[in-house]
Every structure is written in C-alpha cells, then in structure tokens.
Structure 1
Amino acid sequence: MTQSAPLLLAADYRKFMRQKRRLLDAATRQHCASLASRFLPKLFSVLPNNANIAFYLDSFGEMPTEPLAKFCQRYGYQGFLPITRHGEPLRFAPIYQPLAKTPLRRHHLGMAEPTTHKIDARRMHAIICPAVAIDKTGLRLGMGGGYYDRTFAHAPNCLKIAWCYDFQLVDSLPRQAWDKSMDIIITERRFIRIN
C-alpha cells in the first residue's frame, strides 16, 4: 500500500522526503538496496543483451546504487553514469569495472561524475534515476533541476526506472506539463510495472 499523504506542493514533498531519507543510517540504506536488488532480474524481459544502463551515484541519502553496478557487471550490461550541464539533457559516460576504477570528479551540484567521454542519452536502453517521491502512476518528483525530465524528453524510447525507498511511494503528486512518468518503480519491497 502506498503512503497516504495530502496533495502538497513540490517544495513541501522535497523537504519532507529529504528529511526522511537523512534519518536513515548507512546500514539501513544498504539493507534496503540489497532487498531492492532482488527485483533486478525482472528487468531481463525488457532489456536486450548487452544493454546500456545508466544509473547515478548516490550522494544525498538516496538508496545506494552499488547493487546496480554489480548487476551490470554480473550480467554483461554496460553501466553508465550521468554528466550534467546546466539547462541541457544529461549525457552519460561508461563506467569501468569495478566501479572504483572509473575516474570521477565532483561537479557543481556536489555529486561525483565521470571524466571519461560523453555519450548521448538516446544510446541508453534504460535510465535508472533517483526520486524524492513517486506516485502510483509513475510520476516522479526529483530534486528540482529538471535534468531527468529534459533527458527523457530528449530520449523518449529508453526505459525509465525509478530506484527509491518504499516510503517515497505516495498516492498522488502534483503534475507539471514537463513531467515524465516512469515505466518501472523498484523499491526494497516491490517491483511495479506502470502500464
């Protein structure tokens, strides 16, 4: 069952959910990511062999993404990490295996991003993104920069997957004209295919 919450402004959801994420200790975060990783094999039916899968490096209390890197390595998928440029769709750079060998730097938003060559988002088969909150229709609320919405508008054919804690799933979110809905939601408790 999704969390029942009143329809709030996006800023209110961001504040509330970010506070809840910050209350989780490292062991709880890792445990949730481990539980969520049990659902990753369900992606086999929707991904081609050797798929390009983009994901992010958790930095602000999001569910840890190390299991995503391990999933890519174990099953022969090429993992990619986002590179941000203000006002532009994300581009992506391939990761090295193990992930620790990928050259990284901190960018202006405080997250680590690769320093290797950039690839257009349209070459991704799937993009796994964080969410501050997400509703049962797949509408995702991010941090407010619009990076993923611009990217999904630029690359409409990639599989859009939200990777988040179960408490971030709410009944309804306010929709903006530019919002893009997810195709799949993965939490530590469930795998939800939208449509």
Structure 2
Amino acid sequence: MTSPTKSQWRTAILASRREVDAATRSAEDDALATAAAELGAELGPGATVCAYVPVGREPGSVALLDALAGAVERVLLPVARDPGPLWWAPYLGADSLVPAPFGLKEPEPPFLPSSAVADAALLLIPALAVDRRGVRLGRGAGFYDRTLALARGARLVAVVRDSEFVEALPEDPHDVRMHAVLTPRGGLHPVE
C-alpha cells in the first residue's frame, strides 16, 4: 500500500479541522495557552519567543500570545513576504494586529529582519501535523523551512491538535525537523 503524499495529508487534516466544534476549539486553545505560559516561565523573563497568530482552524489563540508575553521579555510574530524567509515583528497585543497577505494577521511595521529569529530561545511553529521523528507538515509554501536554519540553538516546537501528532509523514530533504510537539491534551511531547 502506498503512503499518503503531503498533498493528501494536507487535504485530510484541513477537512478534519473543519469538523472540530467551537467548544472543543476553545478548550484546546485554553490548554495551549496554559502550556505556553509554562514554557515561557521555564525560559525566564529575559527570553525571546517566536510564535504565530493562528489562521482559520489552526490550534492556538491570541490568549496563547498574551500568556507568553506575560512570561518572557519579547514575543516575535512572523511577517510573511514572498519568497524569502519570514521577517518578524514584536507582539504588542491583539489590538496591534492588522490584516496581512495570505489571509494572515500581523503586527504593524516596523518589521525586523529574518535574522531576528536568531535571538529566540523557543519557536512555537504552526503545523498541520508532526510525526514521531519531528517531521513537520506545513501548508507547503516553505516559509518556515527557509527560516528555521536562521534559528540557531532555539528549541523548535510545533503546535498541533492531539490527533495531528502522527506516526509517520513523508519527508523531503529541505524539511527541518522539530525538537518537540505541543498538543492541547498531551502537552509537550519530545520527538525521537
């Protein structure tokens, strides 16, 4: 039997996410915010963390960003501009987020260069799925794969729903493996 392709995985996961009801999403988002606050507290108040603003049915919330901001010195959010690595901007609260390309919400300028990710001790990274080896399935644009090589020494943690932490995903040579996975019910999972 042939293993599913990345495209097939993406289609199945996005369909599954559309089926998650609002109460479940809210409970998951609360659990992720609590876990993010704990991760931030472990790093200490002087740390920089890179996170993201969820889009559509992605796990996470602005409450997660607020929890991080209360625990660390600086939370940076991605700024997606084609075709290069992500730029970054400080998170200054939900009211500072504006509509951006690709249906995202981002902080307003000024933006920091891609190299700002090197200051981070932790990156919380959106994903559609992650496998037990740390292989991350993103949406396919490659923004994170082009950016993560700049995150020298940072802990790379993908954020997914519990059902999206899977046994095996297809892997390409350019894929950057995660160090851990954060899920709502299971918390922080190290990967092999």
Tell me if both proteins adopt one fold, taking TM over 0.5 as the criterion.
yes
Equivalent residue runs for 1:144-155 within 5 Å:
144-155=140-151
Flag the 1:103–1:133 CA change in 2: closer, same or farther, 3 A: closer
Match of 1:79 in 2: 75
1:185 CA displacement: 0.7
Match of 1:194 in 2: 191
Which segments of 5 or more consecutive residues in structure 2 lack a partner in the other structure?
Answer: none
Q: TM-score, normalised by structure 1?
A: 0.87
Which structure has more RCO (C-alpha within 8 Å, separation ≥ 6)? Answer: 1
Q: 8 Å contact 1:55–1:65 — kept in the other structure?
A: no
- Matched letter for residue 5 of structure 2: L
- Matched letter for residue 192 of structure 1: H
- Matched letter for residue 79 of structure 1: V
Flag the 1:10–1:51 CA change in 2: closer, same or farther, 3 A: same
Which segments of 5 or more consecutive residues in structure 1 lack a partner in the other structure?
Answer: 1-5
Match of 2:110 in 1: 117
Alignment partner of 2:56 out of 55, 60, 75: 60
1:158 CA displacement: 1.9
- Matched letter for residue 112 of structure 1: K
- Matched letter for residue 135 of structure 1: D
RMSD across aligned C-alpha pairs, in angstroms?
1.8
- Matched letter for residue 122 of structure 1: A
- Sequence identity, in percent? 26
Match of 1:102 in 2: 96
What is the aligned length? Answer: 186
1:18 CA displacement: 0.5
Q: 8 Å contact 2:97–2:107 — kept in the other structure?
A: yes
1:61 match: secondary structure: coil
d(CA) in 2 for partners of 1:30, 1:50: 30
1:148 CA displacement: 0.6
Instruction: Show CA shifts across 1:1-55 (max 9, x none).
Output: xxxxx7310000000001111111222111112123343314544x253211111
d(CA) in 1 for partners of 2:46, 2:64: 15
Match of 2:159 in 1: 163
Q: TM-score, normalised by structure 2?
A: 0.88
d(CA) in 1 for partners of 2:7, 2:83: 20
Q: 8 Å contact 1:105–1:115 — kept in the other structure?
A: no
Flag the 1:121–1:70 CA change in 2: closer, same or farther, 3 A: same
Q: 8 Å contact 1:89–1:148 — kept in the other structure?
A: yes
Q: 8 Å contact 2:40–2:71 — kept in the other structure?
A: no
